[in-house]
Amino acid sequence: MPNLFCTSINQHLETIAKRLVTCLHSVGETELWNDFAPNLSSPGNLVLHVTGNLNQYILKTLGNKIIFRDRDKEFHDKPDTNIDTLCEAFEATIGECIAVVNSLDSERLSRTYHVQGLEYSGYGILIHATEHLSHHTGQFIWFCKYLFDADIDFFKGRDLNVQ
């Protein structure tokens, strides 16, 4: 029987990933690597950053995948990558994360891990990684609505006032 916590984490990862990809498709290719303010990374760099975080926290720490993360480059590199390629890489990372989460048992979830100089249980790592992805995706949604006047409505046609 699957762990209910892990199942919930995976559902959340899938939902948030779909939202980020939807937002990314509201960005034009010319704006993908454009920094819109001194302290505001480009849409492409934001995707590199959340991907790097998922790689480090879930794939490397919980999945034992050999990864070297250069966090600073996630904010400054401007690779010659288009939106579709960036989405594919991000979605592949989400798929790998889901597989790792599906493999976790209660012992691995309860174990203590060290990441970025911090100490987390396996549960804590999953909460952190999911929250981090959600946090930046929320920023990205706002960013796309504000800068690109994107009509992003994830609940279009649904009555959310139903009790």
pLDDT tens-place string over residues 119-135: 999 999 999 999 999 99
Q: Which CATH superfamily is domain 4-148 in?
A: dinb family like domain (1.20.120.450)
Q: Quick check: helix, strand or coil at residue 121?
A: strand
Question: Is the separation of the CB atoms in 162 and 91 below 8 Å?
Answer: no
pLDDT, one tens digit per residue, over 59-106 is 999 999 999 999 999 999 999 899 999 999 999 999 999 999 999 999
SS3 for 37-79, per residue? Answer: ECCECCHHHHHHHHHHHHHHHHHHHHCCCCCCCCHHHHHHCCC
Give the model's pLDDT for residue 15.
97
* Amino acid occupying residue 37: A
Look up the pTM and report it. Answer: 0.93
